[in-house]
Amino acid sequence: MDKINKLSHLFSEFPGIGPRQAKRFVYFLLARNPEFLDEMVNLISNLKKEIKSCEDCSRFFQKGHTPSTLCEICGDKNRDKSKLMIVSRDIDLETVEKSGSYNGTYFVLGGSIPILDKNPENQIRLKRLVAFLDKKNYEKENLSEIILGLNANPAGEHTAEFLKNTLSPFASKHNIKISTLGRGLSTGTELEYSDSETIKNALKNRA
């Protein structure tokens, strides 16, 4: 396999990218100047060195000058610790943050559970979520609501149902409400592509 096709194959591994679009990426890079390519190579090669996962919410964040294990959201004392929103991906968290309609905390699952999957616990960060909830309870953060901020599509709804069943004993024991985003989100919608007003309505109408 030549380098054009090999790089095209790598690009096609990206979410939502097909073979034709992947090939366009390669030809785009070939048309750019060396400085552009050098910068891109440098950013990619240092990505893992400069980005780490938050000890609490599991989102990726830029390493700072201090050895903090928490991202800026989890480390913010002004956030409402009584509310926890569970989202599938980092990009979903960013979408909710941009809406300016939520001031609670988050947990990033790292994916969703496909329907009929035989090992659902392997598709998401379930063990880390359970450990995080235990930590919040131990530190007496008075968590009162868990919001399932998942996509309004079959995989998102399946994941939400799995989490409800899994977390219900913990929620019942500690008097925590489990809610889902309201139908401000149209069926089939991914959170990533929702505008701020839609997010606000979905939060307002959660149940």
Average of pLDDT values for 68-91?
93
149's tokens: 């901020």
The secondary element (H helix, E strand) that includes residue 98 is helix 90-99
Q: Which residue has the tokens 């007003």?
A: 197
Please state the pTM of the whole predicted model: 0.83
The yes-or-no verdict on residue 15 having pLDDT over 90 is no
Segment 115-171, tens digit of pLDDT: 888 888 888 999 999 999 998 887 788 899 999 999 888 889 999 999 999 999 999
- Complete domains list, the chain, with CATH: 3-45 (1.10.8.420), 52-204 (3.40.1360.10)
Q: How far apart are CA 202 and CA 137, in angstroms?
A: 27
